[in-house]
Chain A
Amino acid sequence: MNVAITGWGVLSPLGTTREEFAESIRAGRSGIAPIERFDTSAADSHLAAMLRGPVDYKRHIPPAHLRRMDGLSRQLAYVACEAYHHAGLPARNVPPERRAVVVGGGMNHTESIEQFFVSLLDEGPEGANPILFPGTIPNSAGGLIAIELECRGPNLTVTQKETSAEAALAVAADLLERNEADVVLVAAGESLTPVVFEGLSQLRALSRRRDGRQEGLWPFSRRRNGFVAGEGAAAVVLERADAPQAEGRPTFGRLIGAVECCRSCSPVKYPDDPNPMLRAVESLAGSAGCDPKAIAFISAAANSTRSLDACEAAAIREIAQRLGRPEKNLPVAAIKASVGEFCASGLTRVLAAVAALDSGCSPPLPYDRSGYDLEFGHLRLSWRDDPVAASETDFLHLASATGGHEMALWLKVK
């Protein structure tokens, strides 16, 4: 596998432009803050990493088109347009039939579903709004992106909860490898709506203020007691790596390996056996272009839940050994501490890692190193002012989802 990122766009609590987002990541800022968009007084959780500030959607999307998009579709279409322009596609002659779209979704269009259903509950069949209904379908964003950017190639929406974005990247890389497309727009995102928040809260997935415990997202810490929800959207343009190289166009990173490992697991539990992930990374390390010495850091799935972080810490210990990298020499970035956990957070994490490594650092935790109550002493977490060596050009991206789906990606930045 060798596909290049030739353009990207992001809407995140850490920034709504590439520059702002990259600067926030490098500075180790966190997007987590008290929720203001909706009332959380009945819940035990009150924090989230939510988008703030206005976004000038009209910059890329005509107002008439925006009117038929729900919030998530707008965000995904916007970041797709950002990536499209960043890749210089408007000036290039890529036939529409060779442009594909792959969307990684999680809970999908809950805002539209909720609006549609509330009016149905309130008014009965007469309240069912035909304008809202198309927005409730899970592939509406994929269809709208295709319309905006005239992408007539394959158009797929895949969903695998917390690994949705990674699955989308793997599907996109497949399309390129099979020569079904010349460019693939991959977009992944999620909106945090009251119903999603309520669901996560009811299922006790969120970090909670209760029994004297504090609420927050502290990866690998003894204090961890669940995740803090996030939201955002990200997109990349992927191409076969030889194309931009031959044409002298810039690339922002290359995906050189993607392996998934799946195991039997309840849909509400994270995998608890580190071995499949270890085998996945071993198989990646044996692939062409994957040199363990070049790894600058591991971007961990760590989301501050008891089970996931413990399993991943054990996996990282073994991974470091098998890669011949002493654990204390291999920083572990936990980007969800900055962007929160959401089903399609993987692409935002990939871009955060790319941005950090591009400027010579690993993405730091948004906390002070002193006093961080790390439970797994063998891990070296990534902190501010932690430079990486010039020879370290790659990072390993790990992702885990409840239900037993995991993925490992190997990316090269320089």
Chain B
Amino acid sequence: MTTRDRDAARGRRRVVVSGMGIICGLGDELDGVWSALCDGRCAIRPVTQFDAHGYRSRLAAEVASLPPPPGPLRENPRRLSRTDRLSLYAAEAALQDAGLLDAAEAASEPLVRDIGVFFGAGSGGMRNIELYRRAVAALRSGRSRRKPNPALLVSYALNTSTDLVAQCWNLAGPRRTVATVCTSSTNAVGLAFRAVRQGRADIVLAGGGDGLCELTFAGFNSMRAVDAEPCRPFDLNRRGLSLGEGAAFLVLEDLDSARARRAAPLAECLGYGHSSEAYHITAPDATGNEVARALRLALADAGIAPGDVDCVNAHGTATPYNDVAESRGIGIALGDRARHIPISSIKSMVGHCLGAAGAIEAVAAVRTLQTGWVPPTIHYETPDPDCPYDYVPNRARRSKPRTVLSSNYAFGGNNAALIFRRWEDG
């Protein structure tokens, strides 16, 4: 019985990806970002947003130029945080890519539809809070007479970007903001997938956004979890992660809805699994058993076997602990299959975008299915015996995968995985 037959038997709807939008250190346009990923370009550079002197690492994959807010929100850009701006941009790109904005424009009416917004948040508007706190400190110390702008506080709540996306395009469907840091947007996409599959929404704009802020930068530096050089996932000499920033959205849609409006599916979303390690607040369970459990839950949800997985878009943070636990988990969940498929980490190019990571990597997974190219893990030089798989070192690989597994793991012991399949009509 095929997955499609099983879904039909269970009364489940099929869920397709009908549009995508992305902004990250490698660019703000899907094709451009994808070319850069396949070319193995690195966006990890010296930080420009704040003075990074004195930190272990001074590097991050920043978005070079912040795009202007979309039309309706252009009047008060100062109220918007960096995360808001990135998220709004990626959301608009995804809606455009799905043909939803064109349809609204053709009808000369705003996009008032029951489209849901499921958003994965990381640090939210923390950069604005930092600016506010610094302004307060300067005022109190007499270094400045300028009163801090209270508008900077609006984005303190992590769901602000979610609400802004909904406000901007009049999206009146279900709304969720998931805050599980590095798995936030994986979970947001997964929960959106479930909402569409169960018929709670026909279309959900699902993704995440996270702007770089000093608090997070200082935090990972203080924990010595960062590499002073651009990160080297799965390499024997890896020293830690490189932070990044960005946003990405996928339009998840019921297949019948996409067909009704003649939207071309980009891929099918097949499954989602999530679990908790209940082990340690920052360290993963080194055995890989807990990672494997999340992957198995996703496989079971998709109704596929380990042998059906053709490629893994890995979390691959380049911290010594994560990459070993993840490799072990992949080995446990996929068995011998793990030795025969490409496993790569795009964090080596776009950094760890935290709340946005899962969505950015999901976009890469879908693009992998569309193009047949697996992006490389760059900066990979020396194999680690504890990470014994094919990590697609330094050069993209043509492999035409049919099914890609994309997974993320977070502080708090939070694990999540998504499975996408190449769209084959029928």
Contact = CB atoms under 8 A, between A and B. Distances in A.
Interface string B181-193: 1000001000100
Interface of B: 53-55, 112, 117, 121, 126, 129-130, 133-134, 137, 148, 150, 153-160, 162-164, 166-167, 170-181, 187, 191, 194, 214-215, 218-224, 274-282, 290, 293, 410-414
Contacts of A147: 278-281, 413
B172 A138 contact: no
Interface string A106-148: 1110000100110011001110111001101111101110110
Contacts of B178: 156-158
B278 A139 contact: no
Contacts of A161: 157, 159
A97 B175 contact: no
Chain B: interface secondary structure? mixed
29 contacts: A105-B179, A107-B157, A117-B130, A120-B215, A125-B218, A125-B221, A129-B222, A130-B223, A134-B411, A136-B215, A143-B281, A146-B278, A152-B276, A154-B275, A157-B178, A158-B177, A159-B121, A159-B157, A159-B158, A202-B150, A261-B172, A262-B171, A262-B172, A264-B171, A264-B172, A267-B160, A402-B163, A403-B167, A404-B163
A interface SS class? mixed
A143 B281 CA distance: 6
Contacts of B414: 139, 142-143, 155
A79 interface: no
Contacts of B276: 100-101, 142-143, 146, 151-155
Q: Which of A107, A152, A260 has the most CB of B within 10 A?
A: A152
Contacts of B153: 199, 202-203
A205 B312 CA distance: 47
Contacts of B177: 158-160
Nearest to B290: A152
Interface residues of A, number: 68
A41 interface: no
Given A120-B218, A139-B412, A267 B158 contact: no
A139 B186 CA distance: 14
A149 B153 CA distance: 35
A140 B414 CA distance: 10
A178 B156 CA distance: 33
Given A157-B178, A262-B171, 16 more contacts: A68-B281, A107-B156, A130-B219, A130-B222, A137-B412, A139-B180, A140-B411, A142-B276, A143-B414, A144-B412, A154-B274, A154-B276, A160-B159, A178-B194, A262-B175, A267-B167
A140 B173 CA distance: 29
A137 B179 CA distance: 9
Interface in A38-87: 68
A262 B167 CA distance: 10
A116 B214 CA distance: 11
